[in-house]
Structure 1
Amino acid sequence: MARLGVPPGLRRALTFWRRSIQARVVASTLLLSAAVISGVGWFLLSSTKDGLLEHRVDAVLAEAEASTEEARNRLEAASGTEVNASRQQRELADQIIARGDTRGFSVVLGVPAREGARLSDGGPEYTTDLDLVSVPETLQQHFDQVAPTAWTYTTIRTRTDAGDVVAEPGIVVGSQIILPSDGNTYTFYFLFPLDEEQETLGLVTRALFTAAAALLILVAGITWLVARQVVTPIRMARQVAERLASGRLQERLRVTGEDDLARLATSFNQMASNLQRQIRQLEELSRVQRRFVSDVSHELRTPLTTVRMAGDVLHDARASFDPVTARAAELLQVELDRFEVLLADLLEISRFDAGAAVLEADDVNLVDVAHRVVDATRALADQRGVRVVVESPGHPCLAEADVRRVERIIRNLITNAIDHADTGLGEEIKVLLGSDDHAAAIAVRDYGVGLAPGESAMVFNRFWRADPARARTSGGTGLGLSIALEDTHLHGGWLQAWGRPGQGAQFRLTLPRRAGDPLRHSPLPLVPVDADDPVPEKTR
């Protein structure tokens, strides 16, 4: 089912990103390379821009100084011959403006220097189509009084024949001269456009962007190829490992070359060979062990039958024996019964180990099975002085199961609870049942010795005992819970245990309502409602 709110394309991309080391290596390399290239490009552009502007400033200052010096020379040559200040000012401005037209810059001849005098007040001579706002206010303030040559950056605005205003970056240089006819100081403003530098900077910028894009593509390609050389053997190792995990133990990696990856492949193949050899040894040992258990169990039946016949004769005639011999005959009968149960359990375990156990599923009511098992174990419960109580939900708890195996599981759980009941407390053993649309469950709660932390994961091991000092009053063999767990797995169910020292234990069996359906929850809680610690033990 698709995740809500995530488009399929994005989900596939995210999956590819999570699973592909090659893609992440390429992406991280590209990001780092882009950061480095951006830093280097910014430095180069800044250096180029500063160099171009510095060279241009030197050139415009020299040009402004030359134009001002030429104006001074003309004024000195005409000194004393011209007394009309307006005409002398206009002629001087026309000469400088003409020079600017030929050399590509604009000129503004301002009003006499005085506090607050501005070009916008009227009276200046300037290049045709030039907007006087191109001269910054700060520069005009600088020349309110007699001051040395100064310059600043500005935006040169001119008007076209169509009446449009064109703005371009530029440099404005201010220089003062004294007009001999009236003795006033006038300021020349020389405005030099930076269009050539702007074009040069744009060309350099485009070249850097093109080179950066080409370099990133080249880095991506190189990184992809290098990462592929490293990732491909890893992918092959993953595929071979998956085949080994599926049971194809003969799979090996192909070794080419003598580099680190080739040595890794060699080591991997050696590991696979060792694992294959050890697994085959374990399989052979397991096969021999299963065969041994099966053969011994079968072979012991014949002498056990003979011993049983002799034991029955002795047990029947024990009334004629002396007390010691009569007691020996009774103990022999009890141990023979336990020996027969042990042989039956060993045969059942060998069938599970050999994979020969077969499930005969039918509709089973766990309530009926629980009452039947409680009635069968009542004598043992009375002997231990405990009472077993069935708490049914008031409706059938149905499941598709093998009734013989389910009855054996419940009997093992109840006899185990009776075996570990604390008779001094006078507590009763509770058998709880529950079901829903997907699962049916039965739980056996006792108040006996309990389980220490971690023991709930060991209680189903073969021949394991929670209290080694406690006698098996029920005649158990130590295989009951192991067989119960195997029976549960055969049904596709859960058999779980909870316990705390001093609080007793609870075992819970959960079966699917329909055979083969997966289990996702249980109708009964694993931790009893009367437990002091609500945190469940790790279950099996």
Structure 2
Amino acid sequence: MLHLRSSVGSRRPPDSLRRWFTFWRRSIQARVVASTLILSAGVVSVVGWFLLQQTRDGLLEHRVDAVVAEANDETAEARDLLEAAPGIDSDPFGQQRSLAGTLIQRGETRGYSVVLVGPTRPGSRIADGGANRTRGLDTTSVPPALEEHFDAESSTAWTYTTIRRTGTDGTVSERPGIAVGSQVQLPSDAASYTLYYLFPLDEQEETLALVTRALLTAGGLLLVLVAGMTWLVTRQVVTPIRLARQVAERLAAGQLQERLKVSGEDDLARLATSFNQMASNLQRQIRQLEELSRVQRRFVSDVSHELRTPLTTVRMASDMLHDARDGFDPATARAAELLQTELDRFETLLADLLEISRFDAGAAVLELDDVNLVDVARRIVDVTRPLADQRHVQVVVRAPDQACLAEADVRRVERIVRNLVTNAIDHAALDGPDAGIVIHVAGDEHAAAIAVRDHGVGLAPGEASMVFNRFWRADPARARTSGGTGLGLSIALEDTHLHGGWLQAWGRPGEGAQFRLTLPRRAGGVLRHSPLPLVPGDVAEQVS
């Protein structure tokens, strides 16, 4: 188990990452700036790519026109040189070498390379040998497609290529270029020879790199500028919203005098004015409700106290009549008994009203001690035995042998359990194998619980959440055997909340009900589960 916890903990993201995610979820300003940056980056990328393509195409088109024109001029000069050669010269090899030397020397001074190959025949290639070329130039720099173009006599043609050169140290360099081909005819043998001019694109590459750097720099600066502008613009909108959130949080915390500062006449200023008006109206209504609640609590408390004096007098008279009822006629004796019973109920009602007024006023406090819930359950069974015997209901405690301790107020816990048990007796089945009440007690490391199970009429759907309301009854026509006031479960719920515990109800028509009290082992502890199930085990087995 320890190894499992450590491995699960190791998969958690770092604190810095969690803080960043929290900031991202909570900051609309950050999301707006990020969205604007992403969209702007996309637009800048598309525009930059389009500009680069246009610039590249323009540079290459201009360069192609220039090199083709230059190649044509060189070829024309080569033809002039050949025409000026003596007609008696019958050495094709010498004439070819002389022409190649002149063109290669001129190409080295002007920055291009030359390959002279021939005589040209269908299927002949530079790789077959006999080519005159610029020193260090790899003849594979001439594309095969361009060679195929000149298998027969043809006009000037060009294509893009990769120029490969071998340095004096044996290193091979590659750079992009343009290959232009044209043909000349040697007078010595009247055969066609092919001239290949290879022009590098170094200047165009440098220009394109310069344009790329300029676009990247401009794009980066533009994105920073857009981010700053977006941050400032959203800040003007988000800052009033944040102030409104802070004021709303303080209002929710009870600081009803908080208001927004109004400046200007724009939409945000009008929103702040409306917010302040709403806060003022809420403050006024809350004050009125608080005053009304205070008056009601004071009224209940005053009435309860004022009724005690006349009730004491009536109680004395009732006791005298009740003690002397044997000398009365049957009707008067019965009236004295009813008077005594109703006075008992009236006194209980007054005590409950006083207790409710203490809860409403926030004056209820706990007297904490270590309480054994097993002993509490057994004491309550003893106290309610006369009522259970009257109803012919058996109450059974099912608890562990060891003590089940919780830090609680024993008086209030006993009152909670007593209310639950008397309520169960009122609604228990009167005959059959289910004519009984079971009190379950259990505990674990963090919590202790008592569950009271009866097999009576049960609760209809939705009544489990209403059963703790003041003066609420599932069946208004049903008489109370215990003479309850309708406040018992409400007081039990308030006592439970005072302990930081849970008081929950389950019921189903015809299958009875179960009430579960769960208390933390230590005062102030937080409950996460209960040692006892809310749905009884027998019902769960039937459902499954």
Q: Does 1:189 align with 2:196?
A: yes
Structure 1 residues 124, 466: closer, same or farther in 2, change over 3 A?
same
Q: Does 1:44 align with 2:51?
A: yes
1:383-411 Cα offsets, whole Å, 9 max, x none, are 22221111011111112222111111000
Q: Does 1:69 align with 2:76?
A: yes
Q: Find the counterpart in structure 2 of residue 204 from structure 1.
A: 211
DSSP-derived class of the 1:113 partner: coil
| Greater CA drift, 427-436 or 515-524 | 515-524
TM-score by length of 1: 0.94
Distance of 2:459 and 2:257 partners within structure 1? 44
Shift of 1:504: 1.6
Q: How does 1:125-524 map to 2 (within 5 A)?
A: 125-427=132-434, 428-524=436-532
DSSP-derived class of the 2:471 partner: coil
Shift of 1:482: 0.6
Shift of 1:432: 0.2
Distance of 1:385 and 1:95 partners within structure 2? 132
1:271-325 Cα offsets, whole Å, 9 max, x none, are 1111111111111011000000001111111222222223223333333434333
Distance of 2:459 and 2:49 partners within structure 1? 70
Distance of 1:424 and 1:202 partners within structure 2? 99
Shift of 1:237: 1.4
1:208-252 Cα offsets, whole Å, 9 max, x none, are 011011111111111111122122112211221221122111011
Q: Does 1:121 align with 2:132?
A: no
Shift of 1:81: 4.1
Moved beyond 6 Å, runs of 4+: none
Paired AA for residue 12 in structure 1: R
DSSP-derived class of the 1:516 partner: coil
1:3-30 Cα offsets, whole Å, 9 max, x none, are 6453333333333323322222222221
Q: Does 1:6 align with 2:2?
A: no
Structure 1 residues 267, 259: closer, same or farther in 2, change over 3 A?
same
1:156-202 Cα offsets, whole Å, 9 max, x none, are 12233444333211000111223332232221111111011001000
Paired AA for residue 388 in structure 2: A
Structure 1 residues 289, 153: closer, same or farther in 2, change over 3 A?
same
Distance of 1:361 and 1:99 partners within structure 2? 109
Distance of 2:471 and 2:541 partners within structure 1? 28
Shift of 1:78: 4.3
Shift of 1:480: 0.3
Shift of 1:363: 1.9
- Contact 1:386–1:426 (CA<8 Å) still a contact in 2? no
TM-score by length of 2: 0.93
- Contact 1:527–1:534 (CA<8 Å) still a contact in 2? no
Distance of 2:359 and 2:15 partners within structure 1? 45
DSSP-derived class of the 2:184 partner: strand
Shift of 1:62: 1.7
DSSP-derived class of the 1:530 partner: helix
- Contact 1:79–1:180 (CA<8 Å) still a contact in 2? no
Structure 1 residues 138, 534: closer, same or farther in 2, change over 3 A?
farther
Distance of 2:104 and 2:369 partners within structure 1? 113
DSSP-derived class of the 1:293 partner: helix
Instruction: Report the RMSD for the aligned CA atoms in angstroms.
Output: 2.1
Q: Find the counterpart in structure 2 of residue 538 from structure 1.
A: none
Paired AA for residue 256 in structure 2: L
1:67-103 Cα offsets, whole Å, 9 max, x none, are 2233334434548443322222223223333332343
Distance of 2:150 and 2:524 partners within structure 1? 98
Distance of 2:541 and 2:476 partners within structure 1? 25
- Contact 1:367–1:433 (CA<8 Å) still a contact in 2? yes
DSSP-derived class of the 1:499 partner: strand
Alignment gaps of 5+ in structure 1? 536-540
Distance of 1:310 and 1:22 partners within structure 2? 77
Distance of 2:462 and 2:236 partners within structure 1? 47
Paired AA for residue 500 in structure 2: G
Query: In percent, how many aligned pairs have the same letter?
Result: 74
